[in-house]
Chains A and B, each alone.
Chain A
């Protein structure tokens, strides 16, 4: 099973809402990632978790709050988002993060988020 599952597929939220994106993998991978992709732009790395600890936070605003409750699950909690946060949010996993990005990343299909 080389699948990374993201839920929900689509999400519409208001600026005062609190919502969460979920990502799950059962490949035994110890590194998990959140990316953001705005329309017609390349994906941008947001966070890296390695062995359930936050390794990289690419200066992401605090209205995005990642959480890794166990090695299979990665959440992204959203609060007080702005319309400019509307984007495709992609989750990925890899065997580990030791040595940086030399391991293949397996991506989910993404959550398309619209902030009204």
Chain B
């Protein structure tokens, strides 16, 4: 069983704050890492698919970095807005099984 940890479990920030959270995964046999945003009662929405060590991806105010050697990825949100409130999930895909293992997610609440 692969261990994919996300921290913190939940986060409350004020509108305008910048924030970041972490996805930790096994540092061996890396294949890909996915980040998703999941708003309550909606579909999970893919944010990034990261495949190379050192990858940095950006989508508007959201960006992500990847370090496969040490087994972590950071997701950054610049200038958080209430509409950023959601659960952010990462999914690690190993080169052994090619099956995604999801973390439990970080629940972000942005207060106006």
Q: List residues of chain A with CB under 8 Å of any chain B CB.
A: 4, 40-45, 56, 58, 90, 100-110
Contact = CB atoms under 8 A, between A and B. Distances in A.
B74 interface: no
Contacts of B45: 107
A104 B99 contact: no
Nearest to B102: A42
B31 A101 contact: yes
Contacts of A103: 49
Given A4-B43, A107-B43, A109-B41, A101 B102 contact: no
What bracket does the count of chain B residues touching chain A fall in? Answer: 20 to 34
Contacts of A101: 31-32, 34, 49, 91, 93, 98, 100
The 9 closest A-B pairs by CB, nearest first: A42-B102, A100-B98, A104-B46, A107-B43, A107-B44, A101-B93, A109-B43, A43-B102, A102-B32
A42 B105 CA distance: 8
B64 to A, nearest CB: 14
A25 B20 CA distance: 33
